[in-house]
Structure 1
Amino acid sequence: MTKKILVTGADGFIGSHLTEELVRQGHDVRAFVFYNSFNSWGWLDQSTKEIKESLDIFSGDIRDPFGVKEAMKGCTHVLHLASLIAIPYSYHSPATYIDTNVNGTLNIVQAARELGVDKVVHTSTSEVYGTAQYVPIDENHPLQGQSPYSASKIGADQMALSFYRSFDTPVSVIRPFNTYGPRQSARAVIPTIISQLANGQTTIKLGAISPTRDFNYVQDTVSGFISVMNSEKSLGEVINVGSNYEVSIGETAEMIADIMGVNLTIETDEQRLRPEKSEVNRLWAENKKAKELIGWQPQYGGKDGFRRGLEETIEWFTNPKNLSQYKADVYNI
Structure 2
Amino acid sequence: MGTKLNKSVLVTGADGFIGSHLCELLVQQGYKVRALVQYNSFNHWGWLDNSPLTKEMEVVTGDIRDPHFCKLITKDIEIVFHLAALIAIPYSYTAPDSYVATNVTGTLNICQAAKENKVARVIHTSTSEVYGTAQYVPIDEKHPLQPQSPYSASKIGADMMAMSFYNAFELPVTIARPFNTYGPRQSARAVIPTIITQIANGQKQIKLGDVSPTRDFNYVTDTCRGFLALAQSDATIGDTFNIGSNFEISIHDTLNLIKKIMTSDVEFIIDEQRLRPKDSEVHRLWCDNSKITALTGFAPEISIEQGLSHTVDWFLDNLQKYKADIYNV
Both proteins in one fold, TM over 0.5? yes
Task: String of CA shifts for 1:173-201, please: whole Å, max 9, x gaps.
Answer: 00000000000001100000000001111
Aligned counterpart in structure 1 of residue 207 of structure 2, from 192, 196, 205: 205
Residue pairs, 1:145-156, within 5 angstroms: 145-156=147-158
Residue 46 of structure 1 aligns with which residue?
A: 50
- Counterparts of 1:132-281 in structure 2 under 5 Å? 132-281=134-283
> How many equivalent pairs are there?
325
Q: CA offset at residue 295 of structure 1?
A: 1.4
2:107 is equivalent to residue 105 of structure 1: yes
Task: Check conservation: 1:254, 1:264, Cα contact below 8 A.
Answer: no
Following TM superposition, the consecutive aligned residue runs of length 4 or more in structure 1 with deviations greater than 3 angstroms are none
Q: Is the 8 A contact 1:29 1:55 kept in 2?
A: yes
Secondary structure of residue in 1 paired with 2:110: helix
CA RMSD of aligned residues (A): 0.6
User: Whole-Å Cα distance in 2 between the matches of residues 95 and 16 of structure 1?
Assistant: 26
Give 1:264 shift: 2.4
> C-alpha separation between the residues in 1 aligned to 2:102 and 2:172?
21
Where 1:145 maps in the other structure, the secondary structure is: coil
Residue matched to 1:316: 314
Number of the residue aligned with 1:74? 76
Q: Which aligned pairs between 1:19-58 and structure 2 lie closer than 5 A? A: 19-48=23-52, 51-58=53-60
1:328 matched to which residue of 2?
A: 324
Shift of 1:57: 1.1
- Contact 1:181 1:310 (8 Å CA) reproduced: yes
Runs of 5+ consecutive residues of structure 2 not aligned to the other structure:
none
- 1:248-292 alpha-carbon deviations (Å, 9 max, x no partner): 111111110000000120011000000010000000000000100
Question: CA separation in 1, counterparts of 2:64 and 2:89?
Answer: 19
How far off is 1:104 after superposition? 0.3
Q: Structure 2 length as normaliser, TM-score? A: 0.98
The residue identity in structure 2 corresponding to 1:6 is L
In structure 1, what is the Cα distance between the partners aligned to 2:6 and 2:265?
A: 49
Question: Deviation string for 1:303-330 (max 9, x for gaps)?
Answer: xx101100000000011xx101111110
Using the alignment, how far apart are the partners of 2:204 and 2:300 within structure 1? 32
Q: Deviations over 1:74-96 (max 9, x none)?
A: 11110000000000000010000
TM-score (norm 1): 0.97
Letter in 2 for 1:102: V
The equivalent residue for 1:94 is: 96
Deviation at 1:55?
Answer: 1.0
Structure 1 vs Structure 2: percent identity of aligned residues?
Answer: 61
Aligned-partner Cα distance in 1 for 2:65–2:115: 17
How many angstroms apart in 1 are the aligned matches of 2:204 and 2:25?
A: 36
Tell me the secondary structure at the aligned position of residue 324 of structure 1. Answer: helix
DSSP 3-state at the match of 1:104: helix
- Residues of 1 paired with 2:222 and 2:32: CA distance? 22
